[in-house]
Amino acid sequence: MATSDNKTADTDEKIFIGKGEEAAWLTLALANRHGLVTGATGTGKTVSLQVMAEGFARAGVPVFAADIKGDLSGISEVGEAKDFILKRAGEMGLNFQPDQFSTVFWDVFGEQGHPVRATVTEMGPLLLSRMLDLNDVQEGVLNVAFRVADESGLTLIDMKDMRALLDAIVPDTSKRGPDDGEDPLASIRKAAQGYGNVTKATVGTIQRQLLVLENQGGAKFFGEPALTLKDFMRTDSDGRGMVNILVADKLMQSPRLYATFLLWMLSELFEELPEAGDLPKPKLVFFFDEAHLLFTDAPKALMDKIEQVVRLIRSKGVGVYFVTQNPIDVPDKVLSQMGNRVQHALRAFTPRDQKAVQAAAQTFRPNPKLDTARVIMELGKGEALVSFLEGGGTPAMVERIMVRPPSARIGPITPEERKAIMDNSPVKGKYDTAIDAESAYEMIQKRIAGTAAHPDDGSAGGGGGILGQIGSIVGTIFGTNVSRGRMSTGQIIARNVTRSVTNKVVGGVVADLGKSVGGALGGSVGRALVRGALGGLLRR
């Protein structure tokens, strides 16, 4: 049963979610078996998400959650003892104690949180194709571009790098006279044609899709310093897990960008974290709101890899919780991985709605005392049907409960409160200044201008002098200057070295110096051309 204090209602092993005839507990040791929170708009999904996030944070588990409407930001401020909150707490035997949780705000656009960036290389052709909504032929050309970049030592960091590379692989149809000299990009064009027919029309289509992405603000996502995922996995001075909130109200205006961005984060977590086995509690819990966007119009190859990553990432100690309106929004293969379920009310106004209610009812372990399908349509705001995994990893019988009230504020915070939190953030200053390191765009411009070093002069493609030569040697040792299949341990080290150098530059050096360091170390040391877990899995 629940105890009489919000701070002690959760135990070292379980999180108190709510109460019906019995108390409903989420077992921390089974929380990495993933979960699903569903229900119609306005039925209390966000409050349930906040209650779960608070419980994980109290247990010392870092949380990442996308905040679509801004309501979740209230978790950073002290809760208010309003009448309806006190009433609900009293009904559950809780003595409501206001609380707040250490929070870090993130924002792809860098407006309401710290900027979140990745390099084009890290995104890889599979996810970038998804982001650009390319067809099979266009995706094939994009794969050719990435392979040519690998072989030519061209580092892809931001959108201008991608544009410059695409221009460079287009066949040169102009007639050159004796005085015109050699095409400075002939080797790049020849390499591209060696993998298939790369046409100007196809490249032009990809370029137009890049423009659409830029107009949606996607260009701000690509660049450096790139996000270090360990910054999500912090605890505060009290040992509580930090709550990382992605401000997603503006990002949601571009649903494909939103879904692909969160999928990239999952793939990076899968790639970077070591195997952990069965832990007493997760290393990180990841809440994916509006999860249906991840699966809408996704090609089969991508769907298979999403299912594979969701299935395997739990062994890394990460719990993934999808939040969406309907359980039928989630494919069966993925749904079968969701062991912990919270179902809010659904309304059956149409045949599809009725199908959704029946599907939702069938995903629960039956309870002889409940007509699950009927109860789903009768649930009031704040009520839910829940089934959490029990000791043996089997789902408990479905129970009808009232979800406990959050102890932090319910609803959005003010701009002033947000600014105060960001000013005291543990990552303040680390990502706030963008760095334009020397990369594919600058390298290609040098070739065109005739200033690029020749391959046989002993220097790497991106940097000159002794640093460039050292970088070339290190890049060869780590395998980042040669064509690769899977990413080696050395390549991971190379990428981490590069990120470390870049992040130190941000600490107080102007962007011009960053460009110089990026050219000498970022290009020459051999920035690892990471593809993320999904790209890596496709090659297996």
CA dihedral (8, 10, 14, 17) positive or negative: positive
* 348 band by pLDDT with thresholds 50, 70 and 90: confident
User: Would you state the structure tokens that stand for residue 492, as one six-digit string?
Assistant: 């991971």
Q: Higher pLDDT residue, 53 or 183?
A: 53
Determine the average pLDDT of the residues in 206-234.
91
pLDDT of res. 451: 59
Which H/E stretch holds residue 392? none
- Cα gap 120→131, rounded to integer Å: 12
pLDDT at position 521 is: 34
Mean pLDDT of 300-322: 89
* Nearest to 109, CA basis, from 229, 246, 265, 256: 246
Measured CA distances, 386 to 347, 367, 395, 491 (Å)? 18, 11, 10, 44
Distance CA 144, CA 139 (A): 9
Give which of 321, 332, 390, 320 is closest to 362, Cα–Cα: 332
Share of the chain above pLDDT 70, in %: 80
C-alpha distance from residue 55 to each of 243, 283, 455 (Å)? 11, 14, 57
pLDDT at 470 over 60: no
* Residue 476: φ, ψ to 5°: -70, -40
DSSP-derived 3-state class of residue 201: helix
For residue range 420-444, what is the model confidence (pLDDT) as tens digits? 999 999 999 999 999 998 999 999 9
Q: Check pLDDT > 80 for residue 500.
A: no
| Phi, psi (deg, nearest 5) at residue 414 | -85, 160
289 close to 150: Cβ distance less than 8 angstroms = no
Helix axis angle for 136-152 and 120-132, nearest 10°, is 170
Residue 25 pLDDT exceeds 80: yes
pLDDT at 5 over 80: no
Percent of the chain predicted with pLDDT > 90: 56
Residue 478 has pLDDT above 60, yes or no: no
Q: Read off the pLDDT of residues 137-186 as tens digits, 9 standing for 90 and up.
A: 999 999 999 999 999 999 999 999 999 999 999 988 776 655 566 788 88
Residue 55 has pLDDT above 60, yes or no: yes
The whole-number pLDDT of residue 101 equals 97
Please choose, from the candidates 521, 476, 515, the residue with its C-alpha nearest in 3D space to the C-alpha of residue 496.
Answer: 521
At 217, the pLDDT band (50, 70, 90 cuts) reads confident
This prediction has a pTM of 0.81
320 beta partners = 286
pLDDT at 504: 42
Q: Is the CB of residue 436 less than 8 Å from the CB of residue 513?
A: no
Q: In sequence order, which residues have a C-beta less than 8 Å from that of residue 87 and are 6 or more positions away?
A: none
Q: How far apart, in Å, do the first and last CA atoms of the chain sit? A: 48
Kindly give, in sequence order, each residue whose CB lies less than 8 Å from that of residue 360, ignoring residues fewer than 6 positions away. Answer: 38, 326, 327, 328, 343, 346, 372, 373, 376
pLDDT for 81-118, tens place per residue? 999 999 999 988 888 999 999 999 999 999 999 999 99
- Tell me which of 201 and 305 has the higher pLDDT: 201
Q: Is 347 helix (H, G, I), strand (E, B) or coil?
A: coil
Reported confidence tier of residue 196, pLDDT bands at 50, 70, 90:
confident
Mean pLDDT of 347-366: 87
pLDDT at 272 over 80: yes
What pLDDT, on the 0 to 100 scale, is given for residue 179?
57
Q: How large is the average pLDDT for residues 488-498? A: 45
Say which residues have a Cβ less than 8 Å from residue 347's Cβ, sequence separation at least 6.
40, 353, 377
Give the model's confidence band at 277: pLDDT under 50 very low, under 70 low, under 90 confident, else very high: confident
Banded model confidence at residue 376, pLDDT cuts 50, 70, 90: very high
Between 534 and 273, the more confident residue is 273
The residue with greater pLDDT, 502 or 248, is 248
| Reduced DSSP (H G I as helix, E B as strand, rest coil) percent helix, strand, coil of the chain, to 5 | 45, 15, 40
Q: Which contiguous run of DSSP H or E holds residue 250?
A: none
520 compared with 313, residue with greater pLDDT: 313
Q: What is the pLDDT of residues 389-417, one digit of tens each?
A: 998 889 999 999 999 999 999 999 999 99
Phi and psi at 513, nearest 5°, equal -65, -40
CB atoms within 10 A of CB 73: 25
Q: Is the pLDDT of residue 490 over 60?
A: no
Question: 503-529, pLDDT tens digit by residue?
Answer: 444 444 333 433 433 433 333 233 333
pLDDT of residue 181: 65
Q: Is the pLDDT at 270 greater than 60, yes or no?
A: yes
The Cα-based distances of 101 to 104, 240, 407, 409, 530 in angstroms read 10, 8, 10, 10, 34
pLDDT of residue 207: 96
Q: Say if CB 436 and CB 158 are below 8 A apart.
A: yes
Task: State the number of CA atoms in the 13 A half-sphere of 61 facing the CB.
Answer: 31
Q: According to the model, what pLDDT value does residue 480 have?
A: 37
Per-position DSSP letters for 349-376, written without gaps between them: -SHHHHHHHHHHHHTSBP-TT--HHHHH
Residues 104, 428: contact at Cβ < 8 Å? Answer: no
Mean of pLDDT values over 44-53: 95
In terms of Cβ atoms closer than 10 Å to its own Cβ (0-12, 13-18, 19+), residue 340 is buried
Q: Is the pLDDT of residue 192 over 70?
A: yes
Find the range with the poorest average confidence among 197-206, 289-298, 385-394: 289-298
pLDDT at 178: 59
Q: What is the average per-residue pLDDT within 185-213? A: 92
pLDDT of 54 above 70? yes
Return left, alpha or beta for 526; rule: phi > 0 is left, psi -120 to 50 is alpha, else beta.
Answer: left
Strand partners, 15: 26
Using pLDDT thresholds of 50, 70 and 90, give the confidence band for residue 35. Answer: very high
pLDDT of residue 356: 84
- Beta bridge partners, 105, equal 245
Tokens standing for 85? 């909150």
Please provide the average confidence, as pLDDT, over all residues in the chain.
Answer: 82
Is beta strand 340-343 parallel, antiparallel or unpaired with respect to 383-387? antiparallel
Q: Which residues contact 276 (CB under 8 A, 6 or more apart)?
A: 283, 315, 316, 317
**d(Cα 529, Cα 100) in Å, to the nearest integer?**
41
